[in-house]
Amino acid sequence: MSQTQVARPDSIQEEDPHNEPPTKKQKSRRPASPSAPLILPHQRLKAWQPILTPKTVLPILFAIGIIFAPIGGLLLWASASVQELVIDYTDCASTAGEEFTPIPSSKVSSSFKSSNNTAVPQWRLTRNTTTPPYSVTIRDTPVCTLQFSIPNDIGPPVYLYYRLTNFYQNHRRYVKSLDTDQLKGNALSNSSIGGSSCDPIKRDANGKAYYPCGLIANSLFNDTLNSPVAVNLAGGAPGEAYRMTNKSIAWGSDAELYKKTKYTNDQVSPPPNWHERFPDGYTDENPIPDLSTYEEFQVWMRTAGLPTFSKLALRNDEDTMTTGIYQMDIYDFFPVKVYDGTKSVLISTRTVVGGKNSFLGIAYVVVGGICVVLGVVFTIAHLIKPRFVLDFLAFKVVKLDLELLETKNSLHELLYNVDEAGQGIGAGVYGRLEENRGKRPNATTVFVHTTFAGLTRYKTIHRSCDVDKPSEELRLSHRYLQKNEPLKNELWDAQSVQQRYTRFVVDHSNHAHDKRQTPAMPPIYTIDTYIHIVSDTASSNPQSPDYVTDTQIQNQLRYLTAAYRNSSIGYRLAGIDRTTNDTWAANGDDLGMKRSLRRGTYSALNIYYQSQLQTTSGTTGVPTGALLLGSCSLPAAGVTRSTLPDAYVVDGCNILSGTLPGGNIGGYNLGGTTAHEVGHWNGLLHTFNGYTCSSADFGDYVADTPQQVSSTSGCPSSRDTCPNSGVSAGIYNGVGGPNPYGPQGYSGPDPIHNFMDYSTDVCYEGFSPGQSARMLNLWRIYREGL
């Protein structure tokens, strides 16, 4: 039979989940009918996954940088244009005297357009009788008077805030401590409040409900900030108050949460921290505050997310705050030192982006800068050393007909068909027959590879890969061995492989397939292996990241030896050579390369690791330069000791060097590609051979690899594409007794960990005992002694 080289579609394109044959759907637990009530919404959601390539990533990086950096600059400019004055008055009560004294510079910060602000802010502390809002008259009130200058006109509008630090309003227990029904005006009973979420501020010692209850209301900021008064305006004008209002300081949505209560004054008590303002509780002279109009309370109840926050207290939307010196009285009640906090007063303007905060602008500039830098670095890297990246948005299947010419042993004609599946999203698959330039009738090569097609439309893909159809001679050998290998119906295991399959061989010289006994043979045969490293000019440089090192070769041979150890097959390194040839590296002259490099006899394994393994130029219907993972020849009949080497010079394996351990082909760089391709060289077929679950399908002709309708993509946890396959005993009666497995073998999950599936390298675990026995016998039929 001709030495049919079978490329491993085998390749990266097999990762396409849409690339499945149309003959059988996989089982699904989803209800069959679209109207079935058990279908969940997510089962019908469309999904999309971006493919990151240099052509898509680099423009995105530069676009983000070009957009974000200017936006960040505008935000920084807007933040810098905000004019504000911040004075920390925490220590006023303990430090200031009855006369004005300078405020420490560490407690003052300002940002104004004018730099003529030479006046140093001052403070003083007096004790007066005051009447804060919603309060009785309070004697001996500490009044902190701040004196500061405004160097240039600001506003309108002008806003006055108070700022607290180290106050955690976002604490879970604090945030939950309120009763929304009570705030909406409902007169809840004492027992209802006792069971509410206002813990621990629910009821007083007499069992009377607090109104408003909860920790938030109890800790209300109770310093009174009065409007600034101008004491020395520019030009000597008499001083007057810059009147600010506490109206419209709360969010409109917040006001809707509060209603006037239905409680009477004697039904509830003020929270504990409100005692100084309501020393006698709620009375007719000092009644319950109307929370629907108490905007200072509404502002406080909107809890802050961070421990440092500012809340609006007063505003003036109409008048300009003119240049001059101002004084502002603050009724100092709110304690902050008990929790190591501070309190400040802040006078500020706003811009279209809010108050003074440079964080957002800095973040935009940093992100934009990083994206531009990364774009430049990746662009340089891509120009210096571009890497081939699969375009999973490109797909094209080319119909091919492979006519296998009849050999001198009168083999049957073999026709390979790969159905045209159209174009769509998925890995590109191309099939092509290329007859060797020597025109030897039993030298046919099949290439299956990935490529770019530049397509953007989606169409479901169906793939049929008939590389599992070997020569008629090899197929008959497989069928005979399938029928007669399971002597005494034993399952294959390592011991039975050594004990049973070393005691007979099959004579195929006359197609009678007569069994003849032979003396027991050694349980392991060793194959002389010649490794040829064929590199392009760039990768031949030892400094190149794609250079094939001696360590990679040694690791690959270790992997290959370990993969076949349980199959009683060994590999001995017979020689290594290195060749630099850009044409050969890209498979441009396969026959010439092998005529020059091949070593050994027909029983010697020659592996050509090519740095740019791809299709040759002039291939009709297939783009030149499409990348291949590998291809390998199947055993062929008709080779004898007298056969000239040039007749089987193409025998061997072509493998992309990037699949060596540590190579640059992600998912296929552990060494599994070589183990898979050498399996073809030893005569094995794909585990999904036939692409059907039909009882008439012989699959891969090995009984202990369950029938499989399609190849495996990636490394799924489990997969069973033929759950009902497997035929009862009695179909075959071999020379060793009945074969219980039938033409399909037994049923079970797909052999996704088998080297002859298309799983990624990390998924591979080994060959089945049946495959091991098959390789031993096919070796003796086709290659032994040659």
369 with 399, same domain: the answer is: no
Residue type, 290: D
Looking at residue 604, the DSSP 8-state letter turns out to be S
Q: Which of 14, 472, 677, 765 is catalytic?
A: 677
Q: Three-class SS string for 283-311?
A: CCCCCCCCCCCCHHHHHHHCCCCCCCEEE
Q: Are 551 and 751 in contact (CB under 8 A)?
A: no
Q: Is the peptide bond before 142 cis (omega within 30 degrees of 0)?
A: no
Burial class (CB in 10 A: 0-12, 13-18, 19+), 59: exposed
Residue 260: CB atoms within 10 Å:
13
Q: Identify the helix (H) or strand (E) that includes residue 516.
A: strand 514-517
Q: How far apart are CA 219 and CA 212, in angstroms?
A: 11
Q: How far apart are CA 132 and CA 279, in angstroms?
A: 13
Residue type, 404: L
Q: How far apart are CA 510 and CA 493, in angstroms?
A: 31
383 with 532, same domain: the answer is: no
Q: How far apart are CA 302 and CA 169, in angstroms?
A: 9
SS3 category, 648: helix
**CATH number of the domain to which 627 belongs:** 3.40.390.10
Q: How far apart are CA 482 and CA 651, in angstroms?
A: 25
Q: Are 632 and 9 in contact (CB under 8 A)?
A: no
Looking at residue 272, the DSSP 8-state letter turns out to be G
Measured between its terminal Cα atoms, the distance across the chain in Å is 16
Q: Tell whether the torsion through CA atoms of 537, 538, 542 and 543 is positive or negative.
A: positive
- Comparing CA positions, the residue from 704, 689, 695 lying closest to residue 745 is 704
Looking at residue 759, the DSSP 8-state letter turns out to be -
Q: 784 catalytic, yes or no?
A: no
Strands (E), 695-759: 732-734, 737-739
Tally the domains of the chain. 2
Q: Identify the helix (H) or strand (E) that includes residue 348.
A: strand 342-348
Q: Are 395 and 427 in contact (CB under 8 A)?
A: yes
Looking at residue 653, the DSSP 8-state letter turns out to be E
Rounded to 5 degrees, what are φ and ψ at 254? -70, -35
Query: Is 517 among the domain residues?
Result: yes
The residues that bridge with 414 in the sheet, in sequence order, are 404
SS3 category, 749: coil
Residue after which a domain boundary falls, among 362, 388, 414: 388
467 with 589, same domain: the answer is: yes
Query: Is 30 among the domain residues?
Result: no
Tokens matching residue 634: 């199947």
Which residues constitute the domain of residue 409?
3-24+393-782
Q: How far apart are CA 632 and CA 609, in angstroms?
A: 12
Q: How far apart are CA 288 and CA 295, in angstroms?
A: 15
Residue 703, pLDDT score: 78
Query: Is 91 among the domain residues?
Result: no
Residue 401's Cα: distance from chain center in Å? 40
383 with 453, same domain: the answer is: no
Query: Is 254 among the domain residues?
Result: no
**Which residues have C-beta within 8 Å of that of residue 166, sequence separation ≥ 6?**
307, 308, 336, 339, 340, 341, 342
Residue 350: CB atoms within 10 Å:
17
Looking at residue 452, the DSSP 8-state letter turns out to be -
Q: Three-class SS string for 134-147?
A: CCCCEEEEEEEEEE
Q: Are 655 and 29 in contact (CB under 8 A)?
A: no
The residues that bridge with 160 in the sheet, in sequence order, are 314, 347
Query: Is 381 among the domain residues?
Result: yes
Q: How far apart are CA 6 and CA 32, in angstroms?
A: 39
Residue 43, pLDDT score: 54
Q: How far apart are CA 609 and CA 578, in angstroms?
A: 10
Q: How far apart are CA 474 and CA 472, in angstroms?
A: 6
583 with 702, same domain: the answer is: yes
Residue type, 114: S
430 with 573, same domain: the answer is: yes
Residue 433: CB atoms within 10 Å:
16
509 with 381, same domain: the answer is: no
361 with 400, same domain: the answer is: no
Q: Are 481 and 505 in contact (CB under 8 A)?
A: no
**Taking the C-alpha atoms of 156, 162, 165 and 169 in order, what is their torsion angle to the nearest 10 degrees?**
-110
Q: How far apart are CA 579 and CA 535, in angstroms?
A: 6
Query: Is 268 among the domain residues?
Result: no
pTM: 0.47
Q: Are 486 and 738 in contact (CB under 8 A)?
A: no
The residues that bridge with 159 in the sheet, in sequence order, are 315, 348
526 with 383, same domain: the answer is: no
Residue 316's Cα: distance from chain center in Å? 51
Residue type, 236: G
Residue 48, pLDDT score: 74
Q: Identify the helix (H) or strand (E) that includes residue 382.
A: helix 359-384
**Which residues have C-beta within 8 Å of that of residue 189, sequence separation ≥ 6?**
209
The length of the chain, given as a count of residues? 786
Query: Is 384 among the domain residues?
Result: yes
428 with 359, same domain: the answer is: no
Break the chain down into helix, strand, coil percent, rounded to 5.
25, 20, 55
User: Running along the chain, 786 residues long, what does each successive block of 10 average in pLDDT?
Assistant: 37 40 51 48 64 87 94 90 92 92 93 80 92 85 93 91 96 94 92 89 92 95 93 65 92 90 93 92 92 94 94 94 92 94 94 82 94 94 72 34 29 28 29 30 31 29 40 80 56 41 38 37 75 94 92 94 87 93 89 93 94 65 65 87 89 92 89 93 87 77 83 86 61 44 62 89 87 87 84
Q: How far apart are CA 340 and CA 346, in angstroms?
A: 20
Q: How far apart are CA 246 and CA 298, in angstroms?
A: 11
472 with 564, same domain: the answer is: yes
Query: Is 154 among the domain residues?
Result: no
DSSP one-letter string for 187-224:
---HHHHHTSS-TTSSB-TTSPEESS-SHHHHT----E
Tokens matching residue 179: 């009763």
Residue type, 334: F
**Which residues have C-beta within 8 Å of that of residue 269, sequence separation ≥ 6?**
204, 206, 208, 209, 210, 211, 281, 282
Q: How far apart are CA 276 and CA 130, in angstroms?
A: 12
- Own/partner long-range contacts of 376-385 (Cβ < 8 Å, ≥24 apart): 378/54, 378/57, 378/58, 378/61, 379/58, 382/54, 382/58, 385/545
Residue after which a domain boundary falls, among 334, 368, 388: 388
414 with 367, same domain: the answer is: no
Residue after which a domain boundary falls, among 388, 405, 437: 388
The residues that bridge with 532 in the sheet, in sequence order, are 577, 608
Measuring CA to CA, how many Å separate 775 from each of 2, 501, 512, 708? 18, 10, 20, 20
**Taking the C-alpha atoms of 490, 491, 495 and 496 in order, what is their torsion angle to the nearest 10 degrees?**
40
Q: How far apart are CA 107 and CA 96, in angstroms?
A: 13
